[in-house]
Amino acid sequence: MLRTQRIETMSEKVTKSEDEWRAELSPDQFRVLRQKGTERAFTGAYWNNHDEAMYVCAGCGAKLFASDTKYDSGSGWPSFTAPTSGVEVMCSRCGGHLGHVFDDGPGPGGKRFCINSASLRAEPKKETPQK
């Protein structure tokens, strides 16, 4: 069952013209985020990434998913069991299309957030200083 949900992240909305988005995003990012495209399975930068990171919206930087909720769904897209907050696979801050959520995921919620790598940017977690 395909569902669309909104990930509520930051209250400040980001509004830009299509020309501004096109100038700031790569062609793949623009196609996915602004035109609701989907990248081919097993081709995105993050489908097989296992680094600890916070996955943020490639359009506006809103925090979306933590790496500890990422898992290998076998689908060829980065998959997560839960967003950092809220519930849609469109960024509520900039309106960018992120991917889709399905009811066949692991974990207590049973959700699989299937996200296009082109809609994400992984920001490595900062290590906390040892005391």
Catalytic (active-site) positions? 114
Q: How many CB atoms lie within 10 A of CB 11?
A: 7
Phi then psi for residue 18, to 5 deg, are: -60, -35
Q: Using CB atoms within 10 Å of the CB of residue 54, give its burial: 0 to 12 exposed, 13 to 18 middle, 19+ buried.
A: middle
Strand partners, 113: 80, 101
Phi then psi for residue 3, to 5 deg, are: -130, 155
Q: H-helix or E-strand containing 57? A: strand 53-57
